[in-house]
Structure 1
Amino acid sequence: MNHDDGPAPGTLDGMTDTDAVTTQRSTVEEWTRALAESKGSPGGGAGTGVMLAIAASLASMVAGYTEPQEDQGAELASLHARARALREAALRLADDDAAASEAFGAAFRLEKGPERDQAIHRASVDAAKASAVLGERAVAAIDDLGWLAGNGNPALIADVVVGFGALRAAVAGARTNVSFDLATLRSAGVTLEQIREQHPGLWSAVEQLTAALERIDHLTAAVDDRAAPTDLD
């Protein structure tokens, strides 16, 4: 989640708050134009969700082009269904993050005092939880892309690797956002040691997402000679 502690987010081209851009209703041009604005919503967390949706979409496409072996039909069908569902879920998570970013910014705009500290604490924990959910969904997709790397249509191995790149961006974004949001609790007078004790699940999520990045890198490297055969390195 990429947060803004400045003025409340504005709108584009005279749009009202009820017409604000979302991944569900806006074109790619409209959504990325909103992302380019210095207003914090949508921000990096929402972008993380979109990257996950791209990874899921590529997995779905490759699955659709893959002819299963005799004993792989059910497995491929389940993979294809998961990819389609993940695309939709990731876009919803992106929009949820954009909305949560506004609450986070609002907490920092409060007058300094106990009320502000409590608001920052709530917003930070909620933001970290949202990013952890997105990260969990991204990690769950690693196996499916790995399966497609080994069993998918070989003519689309480059698309699988692009999918891995998008998935890596989603995992890296989720990891960074969970970590950043937890660390923000220090603004409310909490130490890192206290944060780890109070939120062990979120703390361990950062470690799990770090391990997931290494796993994606390993899987990508294993098929690089097929995806980029002209690479001289």
Structure 2
Amino acid sequence: MKDSESVTTQQSSVQVWTKALAESTGSPGGGAGTGVMLSIAAALTSMVAGYTEAEEAQREQLAGIHARAHALRQAALQLADDDASASNAFGAAFRLDPGPERDDAVHQASVDAAKASAVLGERAINAIEDLGWLAANGNPALIADVVVGFGALRAAIAGARTNVSFDLASLTSAGTTLQEVRGQHPDLWNTVTRLSDALDRIDELTAGVDEKAAPTEAL
């Protein structure tokens, strides 16, 4: 692997992937990092679910959480690679010479990048309540792992929110107003609001278990 374009989250070691992330290429970049954070959150959710023993009435629910987290861990890595590809196209569009061709390329790349981040963000939103269930019902010995999972999930959602918002704002580079962008891409625009609300929900859940995870007042 001699360049960042050949580095993927699914085929590279952590050492190799983070080395590529550290390079000034933009691909992988923050969006791909967002996908990796989501994968970490899913992996921790899966781990805690696996260590949790539920009453008979909750076993089916726990099994569903475990299965969804297991699937999301791998899906998030693919989303990270998808975002890296979108980021690469985004950078290439902005390197074109000024003119109509560049404007069209920037517009398409911005929309594609926003969509990639929005998909990732929606998957992260859907993972919140599963981790919240484990915060309330999971193995209490792993509450610290739950909180680390919340931190990773928050980073994923914050990253997706910022990237969708930034990519939508990039559409104004060709003279389109933000009001026009909102009208042209209402679903993407609304995703930013949903992601903001999701951050508040994670903060609420984290605060609810912080005393159990880090009981510093007792020291």
TM-score, structure 2 normalization: 0.97
User: Given the alignment of the two structures, is residue 179 of structure 1 paired with residue 165 of structure 2, yes or no?
Assistant: yes
Q: Which residue of 2 aligns with 1:73?
A: 59
The correspondence of residues 1-233 of structure 1 with structure 2, limited to 5 A, is: 15=2, 20-231=6-217
Shift of 1:109: 1.1
Residue by residue over 1:24-59, the C-alpha shift from the partner in whole angstroms, topping out at 9 and shown as x without a partner, is 111000000110111101000000000000000000
Name the CA distance, whole Å, in 1 between partners of 2:112 and 2:71: 24
Q: Which amino acid aligns with 1:192?
A: L
Name the CA distance, whole Å, in 1 between partners of 2:3 and 2:212: 49
Contact 2:42 2:149 in 1 (8 A): yes
Specify every segment of 5 or more residues in structure 2 that has no aligned partner in the other structure, as ranges. Answer: none
Residue by residue over 1:175-213, the C-alpha shift from the partner in whole angstroms, topping out at 9 and shown as x without a partner, is 000000000001121110100111111111000000000
Contact 2:4 2:20 in 1 (8 A): no
With over 3 angstroms needed to count, the CA separation of the structure-2 counterparts of 1:23 and 1:17, relative to structure 1, is: closer
Shift of 1:221: 0.1
What is the RMSD computed on CA atoms of the aligned residues? 1.4
Shift of 1:111: 1.1
Q: Which runs of 4+ in 1 moved over 2 A?
A: none
Name the CA distance, whole Å, in 2 between partners of 1:17 and 1:211: 34
Identity, in percent, stands at 73
Shift of 1:16: 5.8
Q: Secondary structure at the match of 2:54?
A: coil
Shift of 1:69: 1.1
With over 3 angstroms needed to count, the CA separation of the structure-2 counterparts of 1:35 and 1:200, relative to structure 1, is: same
Name the CA distance, whole Å, in 2 between partners of 1:208 and 1:232: 37
Contact 2:117 2:163 in 1 (8 A): yes
**Higher helix fraction: Structure 1 or Structure 2?**
2
Name the CA distance, whole Å, in 2 between partners of 1:136 and 1:51: 14
Name the CA distance, whole Å, in 1 between partners of 2:3 and 2:48: 39
